[in-house]
Amino acid sequence: MEKKDRERIIELIHSEVKPALGCTEPGAVALAVAAAAEKLRETGVEPDRISVEVSPNIMKNGMGVGIPGTNAVGLKMATALSCVCGKSSYGLEVLKDVTPEAERRAEAMLDDVTVRLADNGILLYIRAICNGSSKKDGTEHESKAVIEYSHDSIVLIERDGEVLFATEDSSRTSTAKKEERPYTPDMKAIYEFATTAPFEDIRFILDAARMNKALADEGLKGNYGLKVGKMIAAGDNDTVYGDCILRHAMALTAAASDARMAGSKLPAMSNSGSGNQGITVTMPVVAVAESMDATDEQLARALIIAHLTAIHIKSYLGKLSALCGCVIASTGASCGIVYLRGGGLDQICHAVKNMIGNITGMVCDGAKTGCALKVAAGVASAMESAVLALDGICISSNDGIIEDDTEKCIANVGSIGSKGMQVTDRMILNIMENK
């Protein structure tokens, strides 16, 4: 592989694998609010009313998820907190300075916060508008920040009608261009890069292992959410799981999700804009690596395969869809496990097909504490698919959506999640809003 191709792939990983505090949907809303509020404060005006418009999937994933460092949930609280203590310079860790006092102040301003659906057809869209009155002369001032297409992609900032910042992609006329599938390497190129790139060039991916392992340890120690990971790891479950790698992998991954979904202030290393996806693609690989005393280099190459596979599959779906992200992430994890256990490209492709033939239909019904259960199910499927693949067993192209060409299989999943499940997505949100 040529140097320029390696550099392009490394740049892709850095753009899609990054730290995020809490669920990325409330985090993205908080980021937009912080950017707008900061611009209003530059005029000496304090925001006293905030309105936010979000696309349906942002609403779905932000309705019931915990806000880091608080006992609160939802987009209104994320909005108010960001106005009180958010810093846009932190990116998706925008709320890391939250305190009990900030939470009390945020609760007091909830009546001045509105969150509603945007109707513009953009799958990932957030517009935050902050209003306030000057103490000097009572004049009204307004600031606005818009995020489109990626959770941390601020494309427009305005104040009192003046454009302070705008990217080339902030216009609605560029929507078609932005929604084209972005570049990702195919499975063959992923394998070649992961197995031949100099270790020093990919060592950075070990940060994902360290960061998500810390979150898993936090989930195992605390009483977060449904305590799925903690219960799997508990000694009284020996009769169900036994002392095995599968149990360890499920416990670590679910515990990290437990903590993240229920308000832990530790960040997750995300993948494709999702913290849970970053956790699920990372922790099963880490668990297997620990069980076999793998070297840092072995773990790094496995994680590169896992993360790039998830990024590749996700590129067919878009940032948000009705398909649960753990399907994509656990497929990547399965590939990383196959590599760690001595498998090559053929076995890795077998694992992809086995996963696609197994849990493709799992729906996303919003970010919440129950995500840890789906994560655990994804890990179990990843381990099962890897074991079968290593033994040369692969679902036949006669079955369902499976094809001989792995890339066609991946494209099929993308079509199902991005197009075929659009009605499902709308129905899920409707049910959630009318409970």
Contact indicator for 228, 376 with CB cutoff of 8 Å: yes
* β partners of residue 146: 127, 156
Closest CA to 341 of 382, 397, 313: 382
Q: Encoding tokens for residue 270?
A: 């995300």
For residue 336, give its domain range.
Answer: 187-433
Which of residues 178, 201, 222 is at a domain's end? 178
Which of residues 178, 211, 233 is at a domain's end? 178
- 396 with 351, same domain: the answer is yes
Please state, in angstroms and rounded to a whole number, the distance separating the CA atoms of residues 198 and 424: 44
- 219 with 76, same domain: the answer is no
DSSP 149-187: SSTT-EEEEEETTEEEEE-TT-SGGGHHHHTSPPP---H
Rounded to 5 degrees, φ, ψ at 246 are -60, -45
**pTM listed for this prediction:** 0.89
Instruction: Tell me whether residue 1 is in a domain.
Output: no
Please state, in angstroms and rounded to a whole number, the distance separating the CA atoms of residues 58 and 29: 8
DSSP 362-415: -B---SSTTHHHHHHHHHHHHHHHHHHHHTT----TTSTT--SSHHHHHHHHHH
- 151 with 234, same domain: the answer is no
Number of domain units in the chain = 2
**pLDDT tens digits for 307-332?**
999 999 999 988 788 889 988 999 99
- 335 with 257, same domain: the answer is yes
Q: Is 98 helix (H, G, I), strand (E, B) or coil?
A: coil
pLDDT tens-digit profile, the chain (435 residues)? 899 999 999 999 999 999 988 888 999 999 999 999 999 999 999 999 999 999 999 999 898 888 988 888 899 999 999 999 999 999 999 999 999 999 999 999 999 999 999 988 888 999 999 999 998 888 999 999 999 988 999 999 999 999 999 997 665 434 444 456 789 999 999 999 999 999 999 999 999 999 999 999 999 999 999 999 999 998 665 667 778 999 999 999 999 999 999 889 899 999 998 999 999 999 999 999 999 999 999 999 999 999 999 999 999 988 788 889 988 999 999 999 999 999 999 999 999 999 999 999 899 998 889 999 999 999 999 999 999 999 999 999 999 999 999 999 999 999 999 889 889 888 998 998 888
pLDDT at 173: 37
- 284 with 404, same domain: the answer is yes
Which of residues 178, 210, 239 is at a domain's end? 178
401-433: b (≥16 Cβ within 10 Å) or e: bbbeebeebbbbbbebbbeebeebbeebbeeee
Q: Encoding tokens for residue 263?
A: 């308000």
Contact indicator for 359, 334 with CB cutoff of 8 Å: no
**pLDDT tens digits for 152-193?**
999 999 999 999 999 976 654 344 444 567 899 999 999 999
Contact indicator for 321, 273 with CB cutoff of 8 Å: no
- 163 with 230, same domain: the answer is no
Please state, in angstroms and rounded to a whole number, the distance separating the CA atoms of residues 182 and 312: 9
Residues with Cβ within 8 Å of 395's Cβ and at least 6 positions away in sequence, in order, are 353, 354, 356, 357, 402
Please state, in angstroms and rounded to a whole number, the distance separating the CA atoms of residues 255 and 220: 6
Contact indicator for 369, 261 with CB cutoff of 8 Å: yes
Contact indicator for 303, 337 with CB cutoff of 8 Å: no
Contact indicator for 29, 128 with CB cutoff of 8 Å: yes
- 31 with 164, same domain: the answer is yes
- 137 with 223, same domain: the answer is no
Instruction: Tell me whether residue 9 is in a domain.
Output: no
- 167 with 205, same domain: the answer is no
Please state, in angstroms and rounded to a whole number, the distance separating the CA atoms of residues 435 and 280: 29
Q: What is the dihedral of CA 252, 255, 257, 259, to 10 degrees?
A: -140
Instruction: Tell me whether residue 228 is in a domain.
Output: yes
Instruction: Tell me whether residue 394 is in a domain.
Output: yes
- In the DSSP assignment, the letter for residue 237 is G
CATH number for 139: 3.30.1330
- 194 with 282, same domain: the answer is yes
- 109 with 228, same domain: the answer is no
Instruction: Tell me whether residue 379 is in a domain.
Output: yes
Instruction: Tell me whether residue 287 is in a domain.
Output: yes
Instruction: Tell me whether residue 10 is in a domain.
Output: no
- 132 with 172, same domain: the answer is yes
Instruction: Tell me whether residue 5 is in a domain.
Output: no
